[in-house]
Amino acid sequence: MKVVSFKICPFVQRVTALLEAKNINYELEFISLSNKPQWFLEISPNGQVPVLITDSGKALFDSDAIVEFIEEVYPPLQPDISPEERAINRAWSYLASKNYLVQCSAQRSPDRGVLEERSAKLGKAFDRMEKQLGGTPYFAGDAISMVDIAWLPLLHRASIIERGSCYDFVGDRPKLKRWQKQLLKTELAEKSVATDFEEAFSAFFACRIRPSSDEVVPWQTARSARLAPPMRAVELSSKREGGPRERLRIGQFLGGDPISDGELWRASGLRRSSSTAVAPPDQRIEGILEARALPSGSEPLCA
């Protein structure tokens, strides 16, 4: 069995977390969604990950269909629940998966106002789950269910962001916070992603600000997952050898530990020289910090 994946896709993590919870052996093959291979397009009608290639060689697409297949073919996580309970679990799982891209959007908010607006959308789902949760370790009792698996990608990413930026998507929701901690204790989060997941996750949401623009967008150092505003703009004055002086804006997160001037210069890719910096001759100043966040309205890369 093989899962075709984009490294930071939450829809993929939902599938791999279920495989890990059931102790099912599988292979992972990562692809670049900016340069999709032809063989992938031939087996994925929607051009999205995940794709599961079964032991018989059949390619399954769409995460909802894939997790239902895994739950049906392999011993179920909850073997004794009724059809009504199973339907309820599907509904709560869907509430999670339909908010994966909502969370992704919030993670690349250009300013605090947009962050609060997008976080509020995610917060509505979190509020509903806060009311639903009881006093048991997991959603449906003492054992992990399909609902726990579906919510894991949201809560895992929220944890990473809180550690790196001090911005807490979970907020003042004690039952949800307790559930988040319980799920993370299982280590399914780490087992279901690549070893360099946090680095890739951080790099994907790193952005630059074009020198000609006043827009403030998320930026971070390679060593820290500062993934959410509030932030301030930092200007590095720079010039090419023999060329005109230009300015490079970098958004610096105010949450968490402050970013030193040295970190800013290293992250910019510029060589510091007293109060200026010299860009490599073959490199455009405005391209030094690569934009990784998807533009608003982009087609989803995973589902």
Residue 155 covered by a domain: yes
Structural domain ending residue among the three candidates 149, 165, 193:
193
CA 261 to chain centroid: 27
In angstroms, rounded to a whole number, what is the distance separating the alpha carbons of residues 280 and 203? 22
Q: Looking at the domain assignment, is residue 297 inside a domain? A: no
Give the pTM: 0.71
- Asked if pLDDT for residue 279 goes beyond 70, the answer is no
Is the residue at 69 inside a domain? Answer: yes
Evaluate whether residue 39 is within a structural domain.
yes
Last residue of a domain, one of 193, 224, 253: 193
Query: Where residue 9 sits, what CATH number does that domain have?
Result: 3.40.30.10
| H or E segment to which residue 203 belongs | helix 197-204
**Listed residue (206, 226, 217, 215) closest to 269, CA to CA:** 206
293 found inside a domain: no
Q: How far apart are CA 218 and CA 267, in angstroms?
A: 13
Ranges 73-77, 143-147, 264-268: which has the least confidence: 264-268
pLDDT per residue as tens digits for the range 45-89: 999 999 999 999 999 999 999 999 999 999 999 999 999 999 999
Does the residue 240 lie in any domain? yes
- Is the Cβ–Cβ distance between 99 and 122 less than 8 Å? yes
pLDDT tens-place string over residues 3-17:
999 999 999 999 999
Task: Give the active site residues.
Answer: 9
Q: Give residue 187's domain range.
A: 79-193
Instruction: Kindly state whether residues 132 and 46 are assigned to the same domain.
Output: no
CATH number for the domain that contains residue 156: 1.20.1050.10
**Per-residue DSSP letter, 138:** B
Judge if 116 and 154 occupy the same domain. Answer: yes
Question: Does 121 share its domain with 139?
Answer: yes
- Alpha-carbon distance 272 to 197, whole Å? 31
Of 193, 227, 244, the one marking the end of a domain is 193
Whether residues 90 and 180 share a domain: the answer is yes
Q: How many domains does the chain have?
A: 3
When the pLDDT of each residue in the chain is averaged and rounded to a whole number, the result is 76
Are residues 242 and 280 located together in one domain of the fold? yes
